[in-house]
């Protein structure tokens, strides 16, 4: 059998090359190739593995040409340069290295805070220009100031630790930060509005998701303390750059230090040119130590997978042995999709996730299935979660994960999985099974029987069981140009609570959802995607 071949298309530490060679893998190291997407598309078909940082974009076009590609390894955390659904659809495992560069990135955020407080880049430029402007650069002390952390995961927690050492008071907004973890980190858990009004410095450490995009919007920036300084070493798009520029121009915001931008590479940007702005070109992870860590880790993980099939830190697949894989796969999909359905409906803090297994499925590898359920439930908030890290991520955030197994005397199905998300506002639950065709189906929502396959775009509607609803709902979708693919209905009693779960061919926009919610029988309407 020929040796597996790996392409490294970004500037990884050469330590990775050595690992691949030692493990008997052929390796091509072309550190600038990621910037040339046509050349990458032309040669990717020759490789079993692709090791990248952030410059290489793994697009559907690259994946179409990647006929033998089995694994993409990201030496770093964020996988937003990889089209995950396209990779998953082609059966390509995507791995990351969740912790290797966390300390380095936290240190960059702290360095940016000091650069802002003492205007070091500006003072350096002025001094080296021979100006000696001693009176121009009046700084601010960091000691006893309040640091507002938006996101308190791996990196946020390290920033909190360093800020405590600097005698700052740290307040944190993170819906997944438990009271115990906040105490352990010596941070005060607060809501976002309170953080905005209290913080002298704000630093962002969340992923970019639908819920965090523009978390510092113009409105949010307007609520901040006059003279606040803002640091973003997480992801471009968390802050509205145009609104921030206006707030810098007006003097409301005293300074901003950005490592990441809405468009990267950032050649032009609304923040550029402002005297109180400090920018770096996505250098958060750029230390020799972090790059060595992530390169070694990604090379080990990819080699293990290519040689023995072992899966570690995969974003899109659980750790499963070769024997179990075929039987488990449809139930993994069921657990993840049920979890994802409930996670997408949940806005409030999640306290617990319960997974009940009934019948044959109770005798399977429920650990992998529970990880799949937790991954699905938390991915709307934590897009980088994977099935390996899901139990730890839940534990660290104080989310209680409970597994119950029963025989199927009570159930109509050979195998049945029910998931309950216990959120601060209310519990939500749904159950499903896999039919002989191997397709996962939802068969119960809120205790009401339904029967629906999952589809990429769906509408979930809760309504009162009253005449006229189905007609007006169907007409509304038709008038809005939304085609119904499948339609599943259920109710608890005639004239009682009803549910409809509808697969649609086009995603439904907010305008359509607003119109559905305006129908007199409707209590709630949500778009969910799988
Ligand atoms: N600049 C760089 O070079 C660089 C390097 C490494 C990581 N990063 C980025 O830093 C970010 C944080 O990385 P991490 O390893 O700490 O991730 P993490 O998953 O450990 O932590 C992210 C935290 O954000 C929280 N969060 C999610 N949604 C939220 C919301 N709506 N409001 C508030 N908090 C929310 C989560 O609960 C979690 O605790 C990621 O976006 C990552 O890609 C950037
Ligand atoms: O590879 C890099 O330089 C950036 C890495 C960083 O953005 C990450 O998400 O790990």
pLDDT digits (tens, 9 = 90+) for 227-258: 999 999 999 999 999 999 999 999 999 999 99
Ligand 1 atom nearest to CA at 209: 28
Residue pointed to by tokens 């499925």: 361
Q: For residue 184, give every residue at least 6 positions away whose Cβ sits within 8 Å of its Cβ, in sequence order, or none.
A: none
Residue nearest atom 9 of ligand 1, based on CA coordinates: 234
Q: How confident is the model at residue 89 (pLDDT cuts 50, 70, 90)?
A: low
Question: What is the arithmetic mean of pLDDT over 507-525?
Answer: 93
Helix (H, G, I), strand (E, B) or coil at 220: helix
Catalytic one of 282, 418, 428, 441: 282
84's CB contacts (< 8 A; 6+ apart) are 94, 315, 316
Distance (Å) of CA 46 to CA 3, 28, 50, 64, 304: 12, 11, 10, 13, 19
φ/ψ of 250, rounded to 5, equals -80, -15
- Token pair for 358: 């009934």
- Collapse the DSSP code of 247 into the 3-class scheme (helix H, G, I; strand E, B; otherwise coil) and give the result: helix
Residues 6+ apart with CB under 8 A from 93: 70, 71, 72, 87, 305, 311, 314, 316, 317
CA of 494 to the centre of ligand 2 (A): 55
How many Cα atoms are found within 13 Å in the side-chain-facing hemisphere of 326?
Answer: 1
Q: Closest Cα to atom 4, ligand 2: which residue? A: 285
* Mean pLDDT estimate for the chain: 93
Reported as a single tens digit per residue, the pLDDT across 325-380 is 678 889 999 999 999 999 999 988 899 999 999 999 999 989 889 989 999 999 98
Confidence of residue 210 (pLDDT cuts 50, 70, 90): confident
For the chain, the farthest-separated pair of C-alpha atoms sits apart, in whole angstroms, at 85
User: Is the alpha carbon torsion for 196, 399, 392, 444 positive or negative?
Assistant: negative
Q: Is pLDDT larger for residue 176 or for residue 142?
A: 142
Please check the confidence at residue 312 and state whether its pLDDT lies above 60. Answer: yes
Let me know if 434 is exposed, middle or buried by CB neighbors in 10 A (0-12, 13-18, 19+). Answer: buried
Spatial separation of the C-alpha atoms in residues 84 and 98, rounded to whole Å: 16
Write down the pLDDT at residue 320.
61
DSSP 35-67: G-HHHHHHHGGG-SEEEE-SSS-B-HHHHHH-T
Query: What is the pTM (predicted TM-score) of this model?
Result: 0.73
Task: Indicate whether residue 63 lines ligand 1 (CB < 6 A).
Answer: no
* Pairing assessment for the beta strands 5-8 and 440-445 based on DSSP bridges: unpaired
- 368-384 pLDDT, tens per residue? 899 899 999 999 888 87
Q: Which H or E run contains 297?
A: helix 288-308
Closest CA to 430 of 510, 369, 339: 339
Write out pLDDT tens, residues 45-83.
999 999 999 999 999 999 999 999 999 999 999 999 999
For residue 146, the tally of other CB atoms under 10 A from its CB is: 18
Cα separation, 116 vs 107, in Å, equals: 14
Average pLDDT estimate for 412-440: 93
The CA 62 to ligand 1 mean position distance, Å, reads 27
**pLDDT the model gives residue 76:** 96
The predicted pLDDT at position 321 comes to 58
pLDDT digits over 119-172, tens only? Answer: 999 999 999 999 999 999 999 999 999 999 999 999 999 999 999 999 999 999
- Clarify whether 453 is annotated catalytic: no
Phi/psi class of residue 213: alpha, beta or left (left: φ > 0; alpha: ψ in -120 to 50)?
beta
Mutate to test the pocket of ligand 1, among 174, 203, 206 (most ligand atoms within 8 A of CB): 206
Q: How far apart are the first and last CA of the chain?
A: 38
Q: What share of the chain has pLDDT > 90, as a percent?
A: 83
Catalytic residue among 26, 194, 264, 312: 264
Candidates 76, 104, 234, 350: which one to mutate for ligand 1, based on the most atoms within 8 Å of Cβ? 234
Residue 175 CA to ligand 1 center (angstroms) comes to 12
For residues 254 and 276, the answer to whether their CB atoms sit within 8 Å is yes
322 pLDDT higher than 60: no
Separation of CA 291 and ligand 2 centre (Å): 9
Is 169 among the residues known to form the active site?
Answer: no
Atom of ligand 1 nearest to the CA of 157: 16
Spell out which residues line ligand 2, taking CB within 6 angstroms: 53-54, 76-78, 101, 282, 284-286
pLDDT at residue 317, as a whole number: 74
C-alpha of residue 212 to centroid of ligand 1, in Å: 10
Distance of CA 19 to the CA centre of its chain: 29
DSSP-assigned letters across all residues of 337-379: HHHHHHHHH--SPEEEEEEEEEEGGGGS-HHHHHHHHHHHHHT
Single out the residue of 35, 117, 125 nearest to residue 81, CA to CA. Answer: 35
- For 466, residues 6+ apart whose C-beta sits below 8 A from its C-beta are 495, 520, 521
Using pLDDT thresholds of 50, 70 and 90, give the confidence band for residue 92.
confident
In sequence order, the β-bridge partners of residue 58 are 82
Does the pLDDT at position 319 exceed 80? no
Q: Relative to the alpha carbon of 182, which ligand is closest?
A: 1
For 34, which DSSP code?
Answer: G
Contact yes or no for 104/284 (Cβ under 8 A): yes
Q: How far is the CA of 93 from the centre of ligand 2 (A)?
A: 19
Peptide bond into 265 cis (omega under 30): yes
Helix/strand/coil (H, E, C) string of 94-118?
EECCCCCCHHHHHHHHHHHHHHHHH
Residue of 53, 229, 235, 428 marked active site: 235
pLDDT above 70 covers a percentage of the chain that reads 97
68 given a catalytic annotation: no
| Residue 368, pLDDT score | 85
All domains in the chain, ordered by first residue = 5-99+290-308 (3.40.50.720), 102-279 (3.40.50.720), 323-445 (3.30.1330.90), 457-530 (3.30.70.260)
The CA–CA distances, whole Å, from 528 to 344, 419, 440 equal 7, 17, 16
Look at residue 106 and give its three-state secondary structure: helix
Q: Contact 481/506 with Cβ under 8 angstroms?
A: yes
Please give the pLDDT value at position 415.
94
**What confidence score (pLDDT) does residue 156 get?**
98
Judge whether residue 461 has pLDDT over 60: yes
The yes/no answer to whether this complex scores an ipTM above 0.85 is yes
Q: What is the number of the ligand 2 atom nearest to the C-alpha of 54?
A: 1
Question: Which residue spans within 407-447 are E strands per DSSP?
Answer: 415-423, 427-434, 440-445
Tell me which DSSP letter residue 254 carries.
Answer: E
209 CB-contact burial (10 Å; exposed 0-12 / middle 13-18 / buried 19+): middle
Residue-wise pLDDT for 17-48, tens only, equals 999 999 999 999 999 999 999 999 999 999 99
**Centroid of ligand 1 to alpha carbon of 104 (angstroms):** 14
Closest ligand relative to 156 C-alpha: 1
In this structure, which residue's CA is closest to atom 15 in ligand 1?
154
**Distance of CA 102 from the midpoint of ligand 2 (Å):** 10
In this prediction, residue 1 has a pLDDT band, given cuts at 50, 70 and 90, of low
- The atom number, within ligand 2, closest to the CA of 79 reads 9
Residue nearest to atom 21 of ligand 1 (CA): 153
Q: Is the CB of 512 under 6 A from ligand 1?
A: no
- pLDDT at residue 408 greater than cutoff 80: no
């Amino acid at each position: 059998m020929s040796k597996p071949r790996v392409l490294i298309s970004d500037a990884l530490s050469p330590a990775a090359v050595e690992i691949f060679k030692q493990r008997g893998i052929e390796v091509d190291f072309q550190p600038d190739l990621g910037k040339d997407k046509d050349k990458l598309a032309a040669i990717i078909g020759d490789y079993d593995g692709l090791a990248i940082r952030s410059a290489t974009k793994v697009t559907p076009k690259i994946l179409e040409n990647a006929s033998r590609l089995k694994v993409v390894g990201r030496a770093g955390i964020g996988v937003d340069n990889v089209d995950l659904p396209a990779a998953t659809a082609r059966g390509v495992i995507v791995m990351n290295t969740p912790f290797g560069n966390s300390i380095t990135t936290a240190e960059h955020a702290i360095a940016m805070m000091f650069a802002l407080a003492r205007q070091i880049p500006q003072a350096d430029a002025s001094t080296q220009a021979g100006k000696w402007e001693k009176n121009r650069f009046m700084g601010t002390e960091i000691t006893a100031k309040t640091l507002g952390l938006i996101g308190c995961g791996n990196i946020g927690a390290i920033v909190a630790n360093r800020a405590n050492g600097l005698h700052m008071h740290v307040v944190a907004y993170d819906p997944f930060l438990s009271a115990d973890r906040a105490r352990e980190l010596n941070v005060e858990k607060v809501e976002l509005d309170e953080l905005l009004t209290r913080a002298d410095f704000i630093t962002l450490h969340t992923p970019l998701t639908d819920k965090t995009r523009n978390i510092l919007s113009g409105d949010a920036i307007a609520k901040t303390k006059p003279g606040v300084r803002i640091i973003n070493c997480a992801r471009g798009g968390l802050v509205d750059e145009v609104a921030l520029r206006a707030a810098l121009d007006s003097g409301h915001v005293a300074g901003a230090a950005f490592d990441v931008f809405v468009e990267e590479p950032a050649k032009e940007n609304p923040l550029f040119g402002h005297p109180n702005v400090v920018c770096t070109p996505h250098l958060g992870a750029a230390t020799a130590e972090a790059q060595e860590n992530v390169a070694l880790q990604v090379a080990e993980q990819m080699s293990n997978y290519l040689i023995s099939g072992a899966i570690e830190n995969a974003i899109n697949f659980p750790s499963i042995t070769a024997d179990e894989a075929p039987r488990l796969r449809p139930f993994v999909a069921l657990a993840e999709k049920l979890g994802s359905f409930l996670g997408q409906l949940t806005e409030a803090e999640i306290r617990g996730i319960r997974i009940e297994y009934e019948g044959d499925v109770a005798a399977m590898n429920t650990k992998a299935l529970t990880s799949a359920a937790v991954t699905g439930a938390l991915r709307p908030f934590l897009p980088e979660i994977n099935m390996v890290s899901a139990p730890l991520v839940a534990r660290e955030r104080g989310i209680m994960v409970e597994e119950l197994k029963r025989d199927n005397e009570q159930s109509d199905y050979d195998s049945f999985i029910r998931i309950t998300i216990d959120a601060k506002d209310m519990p939500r639950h749904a159950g499903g099974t896999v039919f002989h065709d191997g397709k996962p189906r939802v068969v119960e929502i809120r205790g009401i029987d339904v029967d629906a396959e999952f589809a990429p775009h769906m509408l979930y509607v809760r309504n009162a069981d009253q005449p006229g609803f189905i007609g007006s709902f169907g007409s509304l979708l038709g008038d809005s140009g939304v085609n119904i693919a499948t339609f599943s209905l259920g109710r608890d009693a005639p004239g009682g609570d009803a549910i409809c779960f509808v697969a649609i061919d086009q995603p439904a926009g907010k305008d359509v959802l607003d119109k559905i919610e305006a129908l007199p029988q409707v209590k709630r309407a949500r778009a969910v995607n799988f």
